[in-house]
Amino acid sequence: MTKPRVLVARKVFPEVVERLRAHFEVEDNADDTIHPREQLLARLQGKSGALITGSERIDAALLDACPQLRAVCNMAVGYNNIDVAACSARKVMATNTPGVLTETTADLGFALMMAAARRITEGERYLRAGRWDRWSYDMFVAPDVHGSTLGILGMGRIGQAIARRGALGFGMKVLYHNRSRLEPALEAPLGARWVDKGTLLRESDHLVLVLPYSGETHHTIGAAELALMKRGATLTNIARGGLVDEEALARALRSGSLAAAGLDVFEGEPKVNPALLALDNVALTPHIGSASLATRRAMADLAADNLIAALGFGPQAGRPPSLLNPEVLG
């Protein structure tokens, strides 16, 4: 029996590729090349499924050019690189990898918020440049994190994990805004309080963005929103770069109306807005929220589980564990 053909679009753990080879004829990408659009289309010809990352854009035009595709399995929790509606219209299963990266991403988010708030990267640059020659009472003074107000925009799994770190570890007051309010049983252990978006912006000392990106949430933090924030507040974004108007953010940081920012994601990544690079009061990391070895392996394994199940193999054959468009099963 001929095995279905699948594409592994980026380099992943060799053991995961071998798992896939047990079921499929696999074309992998050991060189980890990011393929331009036309090359991706060419590599997808004749493939029944693909294990992809955020580097690969799956839209209606691509699906029409690859009518044999039955499953696209994202190795990420975010899936704004996939047009899920277009997949559903063509009976293509689309999956992501939720849950397995929650705690690791929350760790990075809290660390980045701390680095911004306590001016860690700014102080390190000062030290490395050989400028530290004495102690002074006001050298790199910053607002406290413990006991302050933590604001969370987007209170899903990762938002709740960040709230838990803030409330239980640092005695922070937790405010949040979400499309829907959490059940009281989830709010109570965190002392978390749902507020409208305007109140969240006005009252947060440290605001963390953990909401999904979509056309509706594009630039959800712009000049008007930044103007509502406390002078001296910080902003941390570990979700998607397009949530923030980076030019407006750079202006707020330059003026001092916003004390600092911590950013793991960028609108044009891997390119970073030069206006942000020129500033000292912003801590920058290259989209490494999920970057622990155990978590990345769990993500790859779940993406492989999804692909194996979507194409009819394994104990969950026909029903991938994290299907984004269950309507295709109808």
For helices 102-117 and 293-310, the axis angle rounded to 10 degrees is 140
Report the pLDDT value the prediction gives residue 235, as an integer from 0 to 100: 98
* pTM of the shown model: 0.92
Catalytic residue among 90, 269, 296, 297: 269
240 classed as catalytic: yes
Mean pLDDT within 74-81 = 93
For residues 246 and 275, the answer to whether their CB atoms sit within 8 Å is yes
Mean pLDDT, rounded, of the chain: 96
pLDDT tens profile 203-251: 999 999 999 998 899 999 999 999 999 999 999 999 999 999 999 999 9
pLDDT tier for residue 272 given thresholds of 50, 70 and 90: very high
pLDDT tens, residue by residue, 179-207: 999 999 999 999 999 999 999 999 999 99
pLDDT of residue 330: 78
Burial 33-69 (b: 16+ CB within 10 A, else e): eebeeeebeebbeebbbbbbbbebebeeebbeebeeb
Say whether 183 is catalytic: no
Residue 38 known to be catalytic: no
CATH 3.40.50.720 residue spans of the chain: 5-100+293-329, 102-284
Q: What is the pLDDT of residues 100-124, one digit of tens each?
A: 999 999 999 999 999 999 999 999 9
What pLDDT is stored for residue 200 in this prediction?
98
Identity of residue 306: N
- CATH class of segment(s) 102-284: alpha beta
* pLDDT of the residue at 44: 97
The answer to whether residues 161 and 106 touch, using CB atoms and an 8 Å cutoff, is yes
User: Among residues 10, 240, 246, 267, which one is catalytic?
Assistant: 240
With both helix axes pointing from N to C terminus, report the angle between 102-117 and 120-128 in degrees, rounded to the nearest 10: 60
Which tokens sit at 5?
Answer: 């053909």
pLDDT for the residue 21: 98
Residue of 262, 138, 171, 277 whose CA lies nearest to 208: 262
CATH top-level class for 5-100+293-329? Answer: alpha beta
pLDDT, one tens digit per residue, over 286-322 is: 999 999 999 999 999 999 999 999 999 999 999 999 9
Helix (H) or strand (E) holding 207: strand 206-209
DSSP state of 80: T
Average pLDDT over residues 71-99: 96
Band (pLDDT 50/70/90 cuts) for residue 1 is confident
Among candidate residues 35, 287, 296, 297, the one labeled active-site is 287
